[in-house]
Chain A
């Protein structure tokens, strides 16, 4: 067990296909697509359920169901049904994104101070304006924490893409195991971990930037 693979400059050549930079790029590509698809599906659904209170059962149980779903199993099933390719991978990963986003969107909407929402209507905001100008900004802290946990999970799990012949950092693990190159496996594990931490830090910055300081427990004004 050593770090020689990770620190070999040859593996960091950005032009090399199969080099670490290109693997990171394709890995992040899967992550971004899965987050996009999962969010596009789960966010409106969660907001709607939270807003109307209809289907709360679904939103609450989605979290538990999602955690217990084996992604690799789902991926194999998708490959059997759809054949090899990007689509089954994206489906399997998006399914991972849906529960945390759905649950947090639901919880965010439920946690809103209804007196403030009432005030927004009383000021003469139309339903769409109430949603975009008051409800969403107020629910954002909860929403962002759901999105961040989804992102963490997908970064770690996107390694499965390599199991069905695609690229991504999973290549280092699978190919390393195949040839008993544990230095390569270790390099893969470390890069995935660093990527996960880095992405979470980035999202934490985004959160600080998009969430109003007025929503912090003890807001510090720019006064």
Chain B
């Protein structure tokens, strides 16, 4: 667990970057620090690995004040992903990834072998190993940055806008890989972003900062969307937070109607719907709503794991379901 205890940071210029921050980042979970530009996210993040020293207050990792630990050793134990990757231009991709294991005294050969495996984990084939950072696209550089931070298998990762320098499609892919990796690895992650959608998607816990380095609200994405603490948070999470909160609702217990209710529902030989958007029990209500809105007939088709249609949902069923849900949990 990472603990901020009443932390204040005032930079020499006199501006207060972080104002009495108290926050706990649970072990094995992703905590996303999110907020508008200049609200002290990076400063807070860099206090975890001592790249920034608090003016007052303490930052603890598993109860130990980071200020009392050897700076270099502390940092080798914390994977650091830097905004715009920050790769070493004079080293190959492979040697970039091998940096921290080599600092920890592993042999070059061992570190390189491990690095190759890590590249694969972040979705880069071995052909990239011998390249230099300047020969990679922005998205590939970000992946190398993540691989480099993971290389020594640190229990903690701090990531500063790791997915910011790429286009939405690539970012989507990186998000999926991040969630898949984190499911396997279960690291304690502190991540910074100014994108609330990214925060909601990737965070187990979301910490929303406001101007002046003050914490506005901490909670699960669901809590923050459902109950914004004040106008600032409500504005920040966006007007469509109602729709967005449906991403956390499962479609599993949504009532379905028999396929026969829709006369012109076309199925292929295997029984898969043609021309209609479909969802499974594992999908979210947000997807179902989206499908029902897009469909001219106002229906979404449910399919099983094999993609075979097994029921339909009508637009008004969805509305009733949401209304019932609202009555159950005020």
A interface residues with partner B (beta carbon < 8 Å): 113, 115-116, 118-126, 129, 134, 137-138, 212-215, 218-219, 221-223
A119 to B134, CA, bound (A): 16
B interface residues with partner A (beta carbon < 8 Å): 49, 51, 71-77, 80, 82, 84, 86-92, 99-100, 103, 127, 130-135, 148
Pair A124/B76 contact, Cβ less than 8 Å: yes
Q: Decide: A223 near B127, CB < 8 A? Known: A122-B75, A123-B75, A214-B92.
A: yes
Contacts of A214 in B (CB 8 A): 89-92, 132-134
Min CB distance A219 to B, Å, is 5
* Interface SS, A side: helix
Contacts of A123 in B (CB 8 A): 75-76, 80, 99-100, 103, 148
Choice from B51, B130, B135 contacting A118 with Cβ under 8 Å: B51
A/B pair count, beta carbons within 8 Å: 77
Contacts of B134 in A (CB 8 A): 214, 218-219
Contacts of A126 in B (CB 8 A): 72
Contacts of A138 in B (CB 8 A): 88-90
Pair B88/A134 contact, Cβ less than 8 Å: yes
Q: Decide: A124 near B75, CB < 8 A? Known: A219-B132, A222-B130, A223-B130.
A: yes
A75 to B87, CA, bound (A): 48
Min CB distance A222 to B, Å, is 5
Q: What residue in chain B is nearest A136 (Cβ atoms)?
A: B90
Pair A116/B73 contact, Cβ less than 8 Å: no
Q: What residue in chain B is nearest A121 (Cβ atoms)?
A: B51
A140 to B168, CA, bound (A): 37
Min CB distance B289 to A, Å, is 42
A11 to B80, CA, bound (A): 65
Pair B51/A122 contact, Cβ less than 8 Å: yes
Q: Decide: A219 near B80, CB < 8 A? Known: A123-B103, A138-B90, A214-B92.
A: no
Choice from B86, B91, B148 contacting A212 with Cβ under 8 Å: B91
Contacts of A115 in B (CB 8 A): 82, 84, 86
A-B pairs with the 6 shortest C-beta distances? A214-B132, A119-B86, A124-B76, A124-B75, A212-B90, A122-B80
